[in-house]
Amino acid sequence: MAHHSSRFRLTMIRPRWQTPIAMTGRSRWTRKRDGFIVLLMAAALTVGLWFLPYGEVMVYPFRLFVTLIHETAHAVGAVMTGGRVDHIEITPDGSGVTYTRGGWTILIASAGYVGAILYGGLMLLLCRQARYAKLALLGTLVLVTLVTVLFVRPLFSFGFLASALTAVALAAALYFFTRRVIHFLVGFLAVESCLNALFDVKTVFLLSAETDVPTDAMTLERITHIPAIVWALGWVIASLAILAVVLRGFRSAFR
C-alpha cells in the first residue's frame, strides 16, 4: 500500500500597503518624523526657559558647554593650520579664551562661532534618527574629555572643574539614560549650540558696528585691516547657511 503524504503551506496575503517596500518607507518616514519632533521639543524647551524665572540659572551649565565647544573650535583651527594650542580658559561669566601659537589666524579666529554652529548642525543631523543619538553623545563625551585633559587650564580652576563635571555628566547620561532620553538630550545640546552661537555672532556683529570692544572680529580687523563688522557679517551669513542646510535635512518629515 503506497503511503501518500501531503504538505500544506499557509500563505499569508499581505495587503498592498504592507508590502516590505511600503513598510520600509513607513519606518524611515517614522524615524525622520521622530527626529523632527525631537528638534521641535528641544527648540521649544530652549525658548521656554528664556521666559521662566531663573531660566538663565537653569541653562547656565549648557552655556558653559557651548563656550567649551566654541573654544574647542578655535583649538581645532589652530591645530589644522599647523599651529599649537597653549591652553584654554573658561570663566564664570560664560566667556572663554583660547591661547594659540602659530597657525592661520584668520581661520583660528573664525572657527569659534562657525565651529559651534557646525557642531550643533552635525548633532541635529545625527539625531534625526534615535539610533545615532548614543554615538553622537559618545563622540561629544570623548571630545569634551580630551579637550579638558589636554588644554583647559589652570588645573582645578573654574573652567577645568566645570569642563570635568560636564564630561562626568555626559558619561552618566550615556550610562543611565534610555535611548529616547539620550535622543532628546542630544537634540537639546544641538539646539543650544546653534542658537547660542547664532546669538553670540549677532552680538559680535552689533559690537563691531557700535563699539571697539575686543572680539574675534576686532582681532581680525587689526591683522587684515578689514573692518570687524565685515568679518562678523560673514560669520552671520555662514552660520545661517549652515542652519539652512541642516534644516533641509528635516524637510522629508513634512511629506
Looking at this protein, which amino acid is placed at residue 244? A
At residue 19, the pLDDT reads 45
Q: Residue 189 burial by CB count (10 A; 0-12/13-18/19+): exposed, middle or buried?
A: buried
* Distances in whole angstroms, Cα of residue 79 to Cα of each of 54, 87, 102, 111, 159: 39, 12, 9, 12, 21
Cell of 218: 576686532
Task: List b or e across 102-113, with b for residues whose CB sees 16 or more CB atoms inside 10 angstroms.
Answer: ebebbbbbbbbb
113, 235 Cβ separation under 8 angstroms: yes
* The predicted structure's pLDDT at residue 135: 94
**101 exposure class (CB count in 10 Å sphere: 0-12, 13-18, 19+):** exposed
Q: Per residue of the chain (255 residues), what is the pLDDT tens digit?
A: 444 444 434 444 444 444 444 434 445 545 556 666 777 787 777 777 767 787 788 889 999 999 999 999 999 999 999 999 999 999 999 999 999 999 999 999 999 999 999 999 999 888 888 889 999 999 999 999 999 999 999 999 999 999 999 999 999 999 999 988 998 999 899 888 988 888 888 888 888 877 777 889 998 999 999 999 999 999 999 988 988 888 887 665 545
Residue (of 114, 156, 159, 122) closest to 140 by Cα position: 122
Domain boundaries, the chain: 59-193
